Amino acid sequence: MNKIQMVDLKAQYNQIKSDVDTAIQEVIDKTAFINGPDVGAFAEELQKYLDVKHVIPCANGTDALQIAMMALGFKPGDEVITASFTYVATAEVIALLGLVPVLVDVHPDTFNLDIRAVEAAITDKTVAIVPVHLFGQCAHMEPLMAVANKHGLHVIEDTAQALGSQYTFSDGRKAFAGTMGSIGATSFFPSKNLGCYGDGGALFTNNDEYAAAMRMIANHGQRVRYYHDSIGVNSRLDTIQAAILRIKLRHLDAYSSARRSLADAYDRAFAEFSQLITPFRSPFSVHVFHQYTLRCTGVSRDILKEHLESKGIPAMIYYPVPLHMQKAYTDPRYKQGDFPVTEMLCAQVLSLPMHTEMQEDQLQHIINTVKDFLNSL
């Protein structure tokens, strides 16, 4: 049996090696390292895939979130509502821009923003809501957009973990994660569902004005070279990364299905155990399983994790510490106990290996190890 990884990037690369190697070599042969033809071509292909008007590539997902907030013209002191249960990048850029992160709790089933808590957190300083489509499943966008529209707020979708997930509205209309709010931001970090071989990110919007502002900000605030209209940043997607992403985008649907099949197999295997809660699948969102995250309710999460690791199975805790309990984000507004669902999840969640190239013997080893452990208690 090959060594089990949380994400097996090597095994995936081996499947597409000749295409990727050729594409990288072509970029080098043309020395088109910065803004080469693959960057625009990739943006266009992703635009078609997502059925969105604009895709603006940038250097990483954190930059994407920052550029979105700069483009919408938020001012220091403006409040931005986001989830207390998320990766730090979401809150980080809010704080870096001098905006005020306002945290709200999440649903215990989807791990995504609790819409009632969002509405309760709105003040006259609120300018935006940032839903995070956590672990590969869309936040409940229809009621969220209704709240945002009612209060005249922007929605910036953090789509770093959910590229390829589709949301279904009550009238049957479907939309891809990242294309429903004012702006969507995503990451192509290697382990993301559409990952490159380094850093990368992109922004999505259907609004021409936001698109123009984001292109300008990502490019030193210039529309015409050496004429700077606003303070910007330097945030580009490398051509080599774009060339790799063009190849991987063609496989994205197959990758999502492979992730879902693996999740199905885990679900079936663990259904009989009341000590574990398998991932909830909401009726309104396709789950693309960026993570397969269990809640350990009748078993010690940390002991299970240690046991798995002793059998050669990696397992990760996303995320061990809620944002409001992080040293950098301590704030007199928040204390322990303020976000009970988030705090409970941080104590219960355990993510199992999830990727596109899981072998049958590896899967059986993971499943049997979990089962044997639970049966031995």
Ligand X SMILES: *Cc1c(COP(=O)(O)O)cnc(C)c1O
Distance between CA atoms of residues 324 and 306, nearest Å: 27
Distance between CA atoms of residues 14 and 357, nearest Å: 10
Least distance from ligand X to the Cβ atom of residue 286, Å: 18
Least distance from ligand X to the Cβ atom of residue 375, Å: 34
In contact, 102 and 81? CB cutoff 8 Å:
yes
Is residue 92 close enough to count as binding ligand X by CB under 6 A?
no
Is residue 132 close enough to count as binding ligand X by CB under 6 A?
yes
Q: CA angle 354-323-189, nearest 5°?
A: 40
Distance between CA atoms of residues 86 and 83, nearest Å: 6
Is residue 106 close enough to count as binding ligand X by CB under 6 A?
no
Q: Which residues contact 234 (CB under 8 A, 6 or more apart)?
A: 59, 218, 219, 220
Is residue 86 close enough to count as binding ligand X by CB under 6 A?
yes
Residues that bind ligand X (rule: CB under 6 A) add up to a total of 15
Question: In this chain, which stretch among 58-66, 139-147, 265-273, 293-301 interacts with ligand X, using CB under 6 A?
Answer: 58-66
Distance between CA atoms of residues 248 and 255, nearest Å: 9
| Pure H helices in the chain | 9-30, 37-50, 61-71, 89-96, 115-121, 141-151, 208-218, 239-250, 252-270, 301-310, 340-348, 360-375
- In this chain, which of 42, 74, 85, 87 binds ligand X, going by CB under 6 A? 87
- In this chain, which of 61, 131, 136, 164 binds ligand X, going by CB under 6 A? 61
- In this chain, which of 62, 82, 84, 205 binds ligand X, going by CB under 6 A? 62
Least distance from ligand X to the Cβ atom of residue 365, Å: 27
Q: Which residues contact 3 (CB under 8 A, 6 or more apart)?
A: 312
- In this chain, which of 27, 54, 57, 60 binds ligand X, going by CB under 6 A? 60
According to DSSP, the residues that pair with 168 across neighbouring strands are 174
Is residue 201 close enough to count as binding ligand X by CB under 6 A?
yes
Residue (78 or 158) nearer to ligand X, CB: 158
Which x/- pattern over 156-195 shows residues binding ligand X (rule: CB under 6 A)? --x-xx-------------------------x-x------
Residues that bind ligand X (CB under 6 A): 60-62, 86-87, 89-90, 132, 158, 160-161, 187, 189, 199, 201
